[in-house]
Each structure stands twice: as structure tokens, then as C-alpha cells.
Chains A and B, each alone.
Chain A
Amino acid sequence: MNFIDYYKALGIDKNASADDIKKAYRKLARKLHPDLNPDDKEAQKKFQQINEANEVLSDTEKRAKYDKYGKDWQHGGEYEKARQARSQQSYAGGGGPQFSGNFGEDDFSDFFASMFGGGQGGGGSRSQAKYRGQDFNAELHLPLHNAYKTHQQTLDISGKSIRITIPAGVENGQKIKLKGYGSPGVNGGPAGDLYIAFVIADDPHIKRLGNDLYMTKDLDLYDALLGSEVTIHTIDSIVKVKVKPETHNGSKIKLRAKGFPIYKKDGEFGDLYVTWQIKLPTQLTDAEKELFEQLKALRP
């Protein structure tokens, strides 16, 4: 746990007035507030730090304690006892304007919790307003074949097990919303939502672009020259495909509706494109070489 220089966090000096603190805080909040920096974890971290700095420096008592014990914050408890002995007056809150919204109530540093006991003592003119809790963002990693079929998964979210249905055809980066699974609301407001972003891993054999799939299939030289029938393993089945005689290396065929399922469109699929990669025979025997020479002679 490290000492946090709240003055430095707000970019003000130790003699700053309450007005200076308020102005510095508002200026930084306009840059770093999570509403203005969605999905920016770095901005959110900085915002929490300036929020914490404001919480302390805009409250006369907390600021006095911080100024006195700052670097020796471990002694804060002794100060607190002495202060309570001096005064029987109840703490009436205080502090400057407290920002709310897309961040948790318990996002104060360990340093803050040690000095001030954690939580928020703030409260501006609108502190009693009810707010939705913070939205949470999470990632769910899936291999490509798991995104192919609608299935259920159980996730552990803040100690609660929830079962979600993952529809076939979800795309990499696509988000789903689980209503009410975010942070609890402030002052009795509704809970936030949980957004789950799917991260679909690349498959070494099949590439996906939208609803279409792309793969490369090795083809024997003779099958390519003379035509044949080969089997292709798609994600969920095996299909037989006719190879036309004189198939060129790198040529492509389309297998209609053998691609990826289309999201939330039951029974509809993209296409599968197969690129032929012709394999030449190696380690030719003398007899084979002779035959190839004969073929060559036929096509001078």
C-alpha cells in the first residue's frame, strides 16, 4: 500500500483554496469521467484517483488529517481517537461535489481506506439522488466451434452463478447485456448492467469472415488433374465434394450454406469457401520420373 499524493493527483499546491480544489477536480473530471471515456480502463483508474483526492481535500477534517499524517498514514487511527475524544459533535458529512455514475462505491484505494475507513463521506447538493449502479464489462473467450452452436454457459459473477444462453453465430467483439448484473445502485437506484464481450479465438484450420467460412484443402496432384471426390471436414460435419478435372492450385469452390450460422436466424447459414492447395508428389522413383518425362515430351 503506497502513499498517494492527492495534491499532485489534482495538480494543485498544498495551499490551494477550496475553490481551487473544486476547479481542479472539475477540470480533470471533464477529461477523465467514465461517461466520457467508455471502456478506457486507464482513464477510469485516474478518475478514481482524482475522485478520492477530491473526497479528502474538499472535506476540511479529512484534509487536516491528511495534511498532518499524509506520509505517516498508519498513525491516522490515533489521530481519529484523539479527535473523537475532543468533540462529541456528530459528523455531518461534507466535502465537495461528489461525482457518481459509472464507477463503484468501493473503488477507493487501500491507502484511503486505512486513513479514512473507506466508503464515501461526500455529498454535494445532489448527493441524495438515486443512480443506477455502474455497468460492468467482462470478456468471454470462446473457441470458434463453441460459437457455432447455441449453448448455455454458467458464469460466476461477483459470487453469483448465472446461466446464460449464447446464441449460435455470435461474432468476435459482439456484446450482450445482462440487465441488473452490474454494480448495485446508489441511494436505492437500480443496479447497473453487465456487458459481456465475446472474444472468439482464431481456428488454425478455418477462418471466419462474417457468416462465411474459409479453409484450405490439400489436393493430390492426380486428383487435381483427373478429377475426383474428396471429403471435407466442416465445423460440424463431413461433406463429400467433387473435384473437377484440371483443377488449378489456389482455385476456390463455394459450398453453399456450409458456413457459420447467422446470428438469431434459425436455420440460416453463410457459405464455406474451400481453396485447393495442390500437393506435388515428392521423392519420385525412377519409373515415375520416366513417366513424367514422357508426359513432358507430349507437351513440348
Chain B
Amino acid sequence: MIDTLACCNYYNIEYSFITSLQQHGLLDITTIQETAFIPAHELQKLEKLIRLHYEMDINLEGIETVSYLLEKVAHLQDEMMHLKNRLRVYGEG
């Protein structure tokens, strides 16, 4: 886990951005003895959210929508792959 303040320094972002992400349910933060930590597995997601917000000017509501749609796309892609595998059983050969 990484200290949230260290993360803010590392990525050059405001602390309020991290807390807003948490409030919008976009990022998991763990608090231990009043110190907020970001789990290591959330870092990749955080970097993506930083790019969406700071570089593409997408506000938090937009990020929420985009994240939801991207999850949906990933789910549909998985389902498509599963169906393609099923179809192979009935294919010729």
C-alpha cells in the first residue's frame, strides 16, 4: 500500500482529487491509524484516472460514465470471446 500523500507528490496531483475519486466510488482507499493508503493494485487505475482528468479535461462525472462504459465493453468482449469459443465447437473441421 502507498501513502496517499506520497502518491499526490509523485503524480503532482491534489489530495482532493484522490478523495473525490473515493467519494465517487472510483478508487479504493484504506485508512490505517488515520492515514489514507492506496492499495498497490489500484495504482494502475489511478494513473488512468489522472490521465482522464488532468490530460483530457474530463470531470469526475464524465470519468464515472467512461469507467462504467469501459467495464461494460470489457465484459462484452469477454462474452464475445466465450461465444466465439462455443461456436468453434460447431464449426467445420
Say yes or no: B11 contacts A35, CB within 8 Å: no
B32 CB to nearest A CB, Å: 23
A285 to B51, CA, bound (A): 80
CB pair A171 B85 closer than 8 Å: yes
**Whole-angstrom distance between the Cβ of A250 and the nearest chain B Cβ:** 15
In the bound complex, how far is the Cα of B52 from the Cα of A273, in angstroms?
49
Q: B93, A202: Cβ atoms under 8 Å? A: yes
The answer to whether residues A29 and B85 also contact, given A131-B47, A204-B93 and a CB cut-off of 8 A, is no
CA distance A171 to B47 in the complex (A): 30
Q: Are A209 and B66 in contact (CB under 8 A)?
A: no
- Once A101-B48, A132-B44 are accepted as A-B contacts, the answer to whether A33 and B56 lie under 8 Å apart by CB is yes
Contacts of A38 in B (CB 8 A): 70, 73-74
Near A by CB (< 8 A), chain B positions 48-76 give 48, 50-52, 54-58, 66, 70, 73-74
CA distance A97 to B51 in the complex (A): 11
B51:A100 contact, CB within 8 angstroms: yes
A207 contacts B by Cβ under 8 Å: yes
Is A126 an interface position by the 8 A CB rule? yes
A101 touches B51 (CB 8 A): yes
**A36-B70, A126-B55, A208-B89 known; 18 other A-B pairs, CB under 8 Å?**
A30-B57, A33-B51, A35-B48, A36-B66, A101-B47, A101-B48, A126-B54, A129-B11, A132-B44, A132-B47, A172-B81, A172-B84, A173-B81, A207-B88, A208-B85, A209-B89, A210-B85, A214-B89
The contact sample of 8 A-B pairs, CB cut-off 8 A, is A29-B55, A29-B56, A36-B66, A126-B54, A126-B55, A129-B11, A131-B47, A208-B89
